[in-house]
Structure 1
């Protein structure tokens, strides 16, 4: 069961409770399910009971109990606990979890860069505008890409004449219109120009440096963005992607290809891949490409830890096995997610680094 499946299951439980007149509250458009934080209970947590308690005029724990009774026993859910003021905590069934992991790896390998894209906002037109400032222009471009991953249509404009060098950062000139017609994208300014950034850092490091911090934070744009080492998050993410592609090339040389045939024990990596669609949706909703950048760092760390702990390729005279093919499939899925996230940020994902 994926987070999206679990979200739909909880939403269905809310509808059932309302239809049965056990709960008198408006049914939300969506239910948010998040991976349990460190120290929490179960695999996933949901705060919908706290959201519904006020309209239902019931204690949140009572609402949570109503919903728990309607999701217990659903295939894929092993246990449902109520914690704190009324959080629902879900522990997935281990066997079903293995099936879900296999399905997810297969989905990523089938969809490629389209993994995580939905049509939730199909037909909705978003108009964005930004000032004549390099960070605002870059963030607006990525926000537009994020909204398109959700099915939206987007028009981006600048309130003044665009800087010609923005094109080197992948920012097209766009239209010119003002605040009365659209949503403003205005992060803390970079206090420099596109030309100065490009001349010093080049486009890839400049794009990462402008987008990695949250919009309300200043963007550190030092020369550490050019460091070729794992202490540099941009290098780490791109290196992890390149390493995943190198595994595929080496496997081809050894005469075998990927196929997720047996479950791979890599919980952190599986969790990071499962979170990718939710990260795209959250980043689009909050107009926050920095969330994508941070998630890519999580995926890269999880992949490299998995890579170090689980040999993907046969060693010596060892023959390729189902375990090797499955680990390779997981590695390829990680590389795909890294490439897809970098694409949203306008950054290339080189196969060699």
Structure 2
């Protein structure tokens, strides 16, 4: 036994001496190879400057000169349109790890739980007031200048998810996710009544089935006016007819025929640029004064780092998510914003 221990210690001693030598030799070889590679790369390749053409400021409306970040965004998107590997931000991208909703509802959860049960099944745990929200919004420029100068055909996708991340009692589920693909045609205008026009074919769905399914299809017309250091953008839509009946067991029926009663036929956006800060407001109303319903959303972003902004958001009204389109909600959230409107 003593002989075995003695032999073992000798092996460890040999390894302790040999391994650093091997490691040093390997590191030295690696550095030598990297230096050799650098020497074989021509200097002009490593320091090459690429000349690019950008749209002159003269091509933009005069009012746009008050919004340098908007000009930078348009220029960047025009350069990116030449690269088939680039996906661009569409709407703002943000993550709100802390949001508080005033009125969480378990109606759909209970309905789904009892849909195929012979007897009512009691819901032991439901949704919390506290949850996280994440929005991911991207677009791809399919073609440019095919319908006149500064025209575009784009494909966009927006996902907005509500995550019960702090609700361990029900396994922290994604309570609701809204998917919104759209095909868009847009024009940037100069010396016209409006500065921007966009038409889109839009589908919005929560990707669910049966009683949890919510979806609608729209044709949307949107314009934008530059006013001082801000942009006003009215948007109107026409819902593509589906049918007036709402049978959750029939996938051909309308999931939510009364969506217009709560979300109306359009909304108004205003975005104000204040140096590196940005304030936004969205107002929506069904314009039915006998049963008036609407919504307002306020947003404020401010710089944290060179790329990331802090973000605070407040919502009050109907239609915050598809599953809650007919339910009044109030929410406040804080988090970070990766990309802004401009």
TM-score norm. by structure 1 comes to 0.19
Structure with bigger strand share is 2
TM-score norm. by structure 2 comes to 0.19
Structure with bigger helix share is 1
Rg larger in 1 or in 2? 2
Larger RCO (alpha carbons 8 Å, 6+ apart): 1
